[in-house]
A and B are shown apart, each in its own frame.
Chain A
Amino acid sequence: MKDIFIIENSFLIRSALQKLISEHFVSFQIHEMISLKAFFANKGKRNNCIIVINECLLTEKDEIELAKFKEINVVKISCEKAAQMNDLKTIFIDEEPVTIIKKLNNLLDNFQKVRKSGNEVRILSRREEDILKYVALGLTNREIADKLFLSAHTVITHRKNISSKLGIKTIAGFTVYALLNKIILPSDIGLN
């Protein structure tokens, strides 16, 4: 995830946020918009991002719509004074820059934790994971090829790639990796 959308119709607030965020999150691409419409029109970049949006621009319907996307985190901008200091998902108009950055940082941390268990940081492709699963369960190359409708040669190529990606050479090693990463369950191989 490398995108942060700032959706705010006040030029002053928008540009101040843009400056603050770009200074602290150098690896992110920042997009400035004046309404959610532009965001929904922006196809392709809508998953895995952070939206910083003026709460007045966000209807209940929009929130339902946003929930349909994968891994979107929404931070609201509130024009009220900070009443609840521990509201980590809202930036208040009178807050100091350090507090705002802290809130965004905290959000990113949580976000990355979620992604770790999610799809983004996996080492293996889905296909390789399928093959690894069967290898860990003790199937031969031939059996795996039949199950996945592949040639035995393709299975062997995949296995070589899996081995070099993971740095694991033995079947027993693959099994431990698969168990540690919940690709198979202990009960699958008769462990409790």
Chain B
Amino acid sequence: MQIHRAMPMADIIHINYSLLQVITRFDIRLGFGNKTIEEVCRGQGIDVNFFLEIVNSFHDPDYFPDKELQNFRLTDIVNYLRKTHQYYLEVKIPQIGLYIQQLLDNSNPGNLESLELINRFFLDYRQEFLTHIDREENHVFSYVLEVEKAFLTKRLEKQVAEKIKNYSIDDFADEHDNIEDKLFDLKNIIIKYLPPVKDVFICINILTELFRLEKDLNNHARIEDTVLVPKVRAMEKAILGSIKRK
């Protein structure tokens, strides 16, 4: 089911409560009464087309971007993706780290060594995650914004065209490395191979958080692949075309 602008905002939360995370990234607060999506977005100064693209691709893994809705600024996407990164760094990862610390605090001589392995694996994962985010924040996003600027202002096209030849958004899409693999392994190691621990609820908490993070990361990657990449690709093509014509 596609989410559309005339639906009450409250309804989409009832349909899929994971969207709570998404509306928070748009700085939308609860308490929207019977206001529709369009009304809430207007009140917050949010591009409603962009909002619909995000919630739809988050909500439905098979959602195909709607051509009519593609008319928003890349700055909006980048801001949204940055907010998501911030949420991972400031909320999710520390939370999982906290649970893993609890696991270590609950260890006994028999399983301490195994739990330390889990901790080490998690720390490695965290490091990889930080590197991944750092690369997107400091390279990919600034490149994307430059492309958009050249596209909109028709200035500096030559310099940007050089950059496109060097590193295009398709290169990013190709090497968009799979940080989900390690997450998958961490889950399976805890589920299948970790020796029994005293407090099973800590493991349940860790696993629940890992499953949630995984789902969120999948949605995040899909937005990058289905919303960000095609739009940047189209702009790159237009810039290269306009250079050729000159």
Chain A interface (Cβ < 8 Å from any Cβ of B): 166-170, 172-173, 176-177, 179-181, 186
Contacts and interface: CB of A to CB of B under 8 A. Distances in A.
Interface stretch (B10-18, B187-195, B207-215): B187-195
Interface stretch (B28-36, B114-122, B235-243): B114-122
B118 A176 contact: yes
Tell me whether chain A's interface is mostly helix, strand or loop, or mixed. Answer: helix
B117 A180 contact: yes
Contacts of B90: none
B184 interface: yes
Contacts of B194: 180
28 contacts: A166-B188, A166-B192, A167-B184, A167-B185, A167-B188, A167-B192, A168-B188, A168-B189, A169-B181, A169-B182, A169-B185, A170-B181, A170-B182, A172-B124, A172-B125, A172-B182, A172-B185, A173-B121, A173-B185, A173-B186, A173-B188, A173-B189, A176-B118, A176-B185, A180-B114, A180-B117, A180-B193, A181-B193
A169 B185 CA distance: 6
Contacts of B114: 180
B117 A179 contact: yes
A103 B133 CA distance: 59
B interface, how many residues as a size bin? 10 to 19
Given A168-B188, A170-B185, 17 more contacts: A166-B192, A167-B188, A169-B184, A169-B185, A170-B181, A170-B182, A172-B182, A173-B188, A173-B189, A176-B185, A177-B189, A177-B193, A180-B114, A180-B194, A180-B195, A181-B193, A186-B113
A184 to B, nearest CB: 11
B121 A176 contact: yes
Contacts of B121: 172-173, 176
Nearest to B195: A180
B182 A173 contact: yes
Nearest to B128: A172
Contacts of B195: 180
A173 B118 CA distance: 10
Contacts of B118: 176
Contacts of A176: 117-118, 121, 185, 189, 193
Interface string B164-196: 000000000000000001101110110011110
B164 to A, nearest CB: 32
Nearest to B189: A176
B235 to A, nearest CB: 34
Contacts of B125: 172
A172 B186 CA distance: 10
Contacts of B193: 176-177, 180-181
B115 to A, nearest CB: 10
A179 B193 CA distance: 11
A179 B121 CA distance: 12
A138 to B, nearest CB: 14
Contacts of B113: 186
Contacts of A180: 114, 117, 189, 193-195
